[in-house]
Structure 1
Amino acid sequence: MQEILSKKLLGNRIKSLRLEKAYAQSEVAAILNLSRSNYSQIELGNQYPSYNTLQAISLHYQKSYTWLLHGTSSISVQTAEAAIIKDLQATLHDFSFNLKRLEKQLLQIRIKLGITD
């Protein structure tokens, strides 16, 4: 079972990237278009970054979302892709089933109304 995403671990990963590049919080906050206080709260693990902020961090440090969120790149990406494919297949199957059901209902209505092509 996948662990629940920890704000603290995510904040630590983001902070480690900043320190690796020797940036000040205010520099990164400006790049991300955030207040320094808001950025600080993300690093401290007191709040999650928004999707847009996470995307900007990912692009700025050239790290994948998977690495930022889970600390690993290879296994989680494959697992996520497999889950997306499985979900799409299930959705397509459901759609196909519902389409056939609707076609039958439409045919029954046409027969009741005496409509022929």
Structure 2
Amino acid sequence: MQEILSKKDIGERIKDLRAKNGLSQSLIAEVLQLSRSNYSQIELGNQYPSFHTLHKLARYYGKTYHWLIHGIEEENEDRFGMANQLILDLENTLKQFSATVDKLAEELDLLKVKSAK
């Protein structure tokens, strides 16, 4: 028999995650690219989050879809959480590396201009 998903339970889990991290509804709505009102309706349990919203929330908080929807940690939950955190860390490192390469390219261009004079 298929389990009935409770909008209210999902909303409470999402709200608890936000509150435990000391974040505002406005900030999370911005991260999710939703209006604050729309995000508030999800937390209140008046509407289901879309797949896209669940995906972003899971990545943002390092949780799984399964936990967001059912509130039960799977046996492999820790692996998923660690993998998500590693991916986020890698993304940040790559952004920093890209910024460093861009800065280096600018400095090399300046050196070329100075040496041409």
User: Same-fold call, TM > 0.5?
Assistant: yes
AA aligned opposite 2:13: R
TM-score of the superposed pair, with normalisation by structure 1: 0.62
SS of the counterpart of 2:5?
Answer: coil
Matched with 1:40 is 40
Q: How do 1:73-84 residues align onto structure 2 when only pairs under 5 Å count?
A: 73-74=73-74
Q: CA RMSD in A?
A: 1.8
Q: Give the Cα–Cα distance (whole angstroms) in 2 for the partners of residues 31 and 68 of structure 1.
A: 17
Provide runs of 4+ in structure 1 moved above 6 Å: none
Matched with 1:22 is 22
Q: Give the Cα–Cα distance (whole angstroms) in 1 for the partners of residues 28 and 7 of structure 2.
A: 18
Q: Give the Cα–Cα distance (whole angstroms) in 1 for the partners of residues 2 and 73 of structure 2.
A: 14
Q: Give the Cα–Cα distance (whole angstroms) in 2 for the partners of residues 74 and 48 of structure 1.
A: 22
Matched with 1:50 is 50
Overall identity of the aligned pairs, in %: 58
Deviation at 1:74, TM superposition (A): 1.7
Deviation at 1:27, TM superposition (A): 0.5
User: Which sections of structure 1, spanning at least 5 residues, go unmatched?
Assistant: 78-117
SS of the counterpart of 1:27?
Answer: helix
Q: Give the Cα–Cα distance (whole angstroms) in 2 for the partners of residues 26 and 7 of structure 1.
A: 20
Q: Give the Cα–Cα distance (whole angstroms) in 1 for the partners of residues 74 and 62 of structure 2.
A: 15
Q: Give the Cα–Cα distance (whole angstroms) in 2 for the partners of residues 52 and 74 of structure 1.
A: 21
Q: Give the Cα–Cα distance (whole angstroms) in 2 for the partners of residues 67 and 51 of structure 1.
A: 14
Q: Give the Cα–Cα distance (whole angstroms) in 2 for the partners of residues 22 and 11 of structure 1.
A: 16
Deviations for 1:68-97, whole angstroms, at most 9, x for unmatched residues?
00001226x8xxxxxxxxxxxxxxxxxxxx
* Structure of greater Rg: 1
Q: Give the Cα–Cα distance (whole angstroms) in 2 for the partners of residues 31 and 72 of structure 1.
A: 25
Matched with 1:66 is 66
Deviations for 1:21-62, whole angstroms, at most 9, x for unmatched residues?
000100100011000000000000000011101100000001
AA aligned opposite 1:27: L
